[in-house]
Amino acid sequence: MSSENRQVSVRQLKVKKCNTKCRLIVFATLAICLVAVAVFADRLCPYDPYAQDLSLSYQAPSAAHIMGTDAYGRDMFSRVIVGARASILSTLALVCIITLVGTAVGTISGFIGGKVDAIVMRVSDFFLAFPGLVFALAVAALLGGGVLNAIIALAVISWPKYARVARSQTLSVKVSSFVQAAVLAGDNPPQIIFRHILPNIFGPILVTAMLDIGTMTMELAGLSFLGLGAQPPIAEWGSMMSSGRSMLQTYPWVVLSPGIAIFISVVIFNLLGDTVRDYLDPK
């Protein structure tokens, strides 16, 4: 095999070698870099993202300010970096919350079955009934703006998806002989759930969560864009785009820089999600 490989061109070799595992490493590294930027944003940004200097307002991108400056003369590049914190870290927190809640509800509901299951599924139907953002809009509007409230709003409408995945997986694992054996051996329900069911349904749930990060990034930014998430002056990509919107004609960088930041992050998370799916669930 290896001698054959040496004879093909470098490019082909790269394509061949870059199998799923390799892709997984590359995209996971990129995603980790992104998260690292968000975590260490304070030390990475060249200027104070909140320092206003009206004499510098709406500077076009230059060597000093590679993404230009906004209405208050704040450095866009620094704001985009710091914005990663509100945008990416909140998204990750959101995905963690809905994964945990959805999995817990779905697993327990699927395991117990009967009336509990029927009620839980009706409730989740109810939340699935509405287009996500619309319901989130209402929740965010009630609780008022703020990153935390936007997270709660999206969490309320997003957990049922995970509950469905966890439930259907639980139902299929529940009837398998090793679970039956555990029941016969006298394991109590928590033992069965933690030892036998959860490890076996982990894959599909992880895939769902990974594929969801990109979408959630966009939805969270969307809520902030509508003024229902992060509030100015907090640097967050969606709200930055919204506040720069009226200046699109004259100072496009104020809108496009955070937009491109969202786009790049979503691309990275989507690539990672697709790869995790290919890795865990090869077709």
Q: Enumerate binding residues for other proteins (CB under 8 A).
A: 126, 129-131, 133-134, 137-139, 141-144, 214, 218, 221-222, 225-227, 238, 241-242, 245, 248-249, 252, 255-256, 259, 262-263, 266-267, 270
- For the bound state, the minimum distance from the C-beta of residue 265 to other proteins, rounded and expressed in Å, comes to 9
- For the bound state, the minimum distance from the C-beta of residue 131 to other proteins, rounded and expressed in Å, comes to 4
Q: Select 52 or 270, whichever has its Cβ closest to other proteins.
A: 270
Burial class (CB in 10 A: 0-12, 13-18, 19+), 71: middle
- For the bound state, the minimum distance from the C-beta of residue 191 to other proteins, rounded and expressed in Å, comes to 35
Q: Which of 61, 65, 28, 32 is nearest to 46 (CA)?
A: 65
- For the bound state, the minimum distance from the C-beta of residue 223 to other proteins, rounded and expressed in Å, comes to 9
Q: Select 193 or 221, whichever has its Cβ closest to other proteins.
A: 221
- For the bound state, the minimum distance from the C-beta of residue 67 to other proteins, rounded and expressed in Å, comes to 15
Nearest 10 degrees: Cα torsion 160, 166, 172, 174: -120
What is the CB neighbour count within 10 angstroms for residue 36?
Answer: 12
Q: Select 58 or 202, whichever has its Cβ closest to other proteins.
A: 58
What is the CB neighbour count within 10 angstroms for residue 128?
Answer: 17
Q: Select 78 or 217, whichever has its Cβ closest to other proteins.
A: 217
Q: Select 124 or 242, whichever has its Cβ closest to other proteins.
A: 242
- For the bound state, the minimum distance from the C-beta of residue 134 to other proteins, rounded and expressed in Å, comes to 6
- For the bound state, the minimum distance from the C-beta of residue 184 to other proteins, rounded and expressed in Å, comes to 33
Q: Select 149 or 169, whichever has its Cβ closest to other proteins.
A: 149
Q: Which of 81, 38, 95, 83 is nearest to 214 (CA)?
A: 95
Q: Select 38 or 139, whichever has its Cβ closest to other proteins.
A: 139
